[in-house]
Structure 1
Amino acid sequence: MKRTPMLPRKPSWASLGPMIRGAVVCMSDSFHWTMVSHENVRPSCGPVKMFRETFMSDQKRTYRKTRRADLEEETRRRITESAVALHEELGPARTSISAIAEHAGVRRSTVYRHFPDDESLFAACSSHYRAAHPPPDPCAWAGIEDPARRTATALGELYAFYRQTEGMYTSLLRDEALVPIVHRRLGDFYGYLRAVQDGLMAGRGLRGHAGRRTRAALGHALAFPTWRSLAREHGLADGEAVGLMVVLVEGAAAAR
């Protein structure tokens, strides 16, 4: 008799229970191992934190250095401006280091730290004042061919400059004989006036006595005391003073 092949029986849930539980345990262990492994390979924050702290420290150090330099520069500027103001108001001969320190709101030692001697102090004052009050540029009238008009243009600009800087030049010229460094510093300004004088003599074609008379008249007209005498002692406006000095110069040039 032919036998019918036996088909495998479907496993019951009861028989599958141990297998399912084992698989769950394996999956749980695998998941736990994976999590632990990821934790183990997590990059350390130590070097990054150290870099950030170093970077921030360098930034703070740079800021402090910059801030300190700015404060030092501000103190130096305040001392310079105080010295300039006192030189104009009192004159260099009567301006002491103590007065400068008090005016600037610093100690005497601070003034000496920035300016250890008179030469450095006066150099800073001269540079500061010239930057704020530059003298007229001779190029402005150098191209004027007519000598009389060239002289009038130069004197007009120079007298306006004298009016603007009257207080300072009055004090400097008064103390020139008392303070040697003032005399040395004014040498640059006198050199400037001589250059202007040479430019105003150019093209006149004068020699001998007429040349000397004209140069002397120009030197007198260009001098600060001449302007101050005409403007303050005699009450002339700058335009009137210029006209009078042009007559003087051209009269000297015409007298052969």
Structure 2
Amino acid sequence: MLFVTPFLIILLTSDYSKGEIHLHAFKHQRVNCNEKTVLQCNISSPTPLNVVQVFWRKQDEEDFKCDPTSDNNPPGFECNYTEKSLTLTISNPTPANMGAYFCCIKTDSGHGAKHINVSIGECTGELSNQIAGPNQIQCSFNSVYPGAVINWFHYDKDLTSKSTTTSLLNSDGTFNITSVLNIQDDKKKYTCSLWSLEQGRYLNQEIEVPYHADSSPSSRISTQHRLSWTLIFFSLMYFD
């Protein structure tokens, strides 16, 4: 159900003082995840305006207010006003920032408001993989959007049924998705991919995860140490 604060209801249903104030804005704006975005309302009037106040509101968030004259605006937002426009900058857009934003203006002769519906594209996030334990490998997609599942493959063979996937919703609206694959055969390479149930397609490129039965973080460190001591030993023999 659409919810609008009482103040915005007054702005949207009241007369614009005989058409003296005109606000123009694109009703829908799709923004890129984590890419600075500017929302803009253009202001025009056939007569000079004596502006009392300009600000931005967000639907369903009563505490959200961005005022160009205030130093106490919502974190991650900046608003500016000129005689011809009112802008709202979202410094680092995330899914939590989606919704309807209203640019509002009050003058001594009237008031007005326009809304912009903000949606967000995909968030690719960070990808990683590691050995999770004996006969297990792990693949993680952190800070991704929209929500998805991880599919596992060995070449064309689908191994997803042998894995366990967990999904955690972050405060910014993104997801941390982790999957652990139980390995029965010692194959050389596995592939994990992120599949969007909402969009019906893969969101991220496939990640090749090499695996060896004896591989683990500790065994790799030990191998490096053995190699270092070997080099030192041969160096000493050479100089003697």
Superposition TM-score, scaled by structure 2 size = 0.23
Query: Could you say which structure has the higher helix fraction?
Result: 1
Answer with 1 or 2: which has the greater Rg.
Answer: 1
Query: Could you say which structure has the higher strand fraction?
Result: 2
Superposition TM-score, scaled by structure 1 size = 0.22
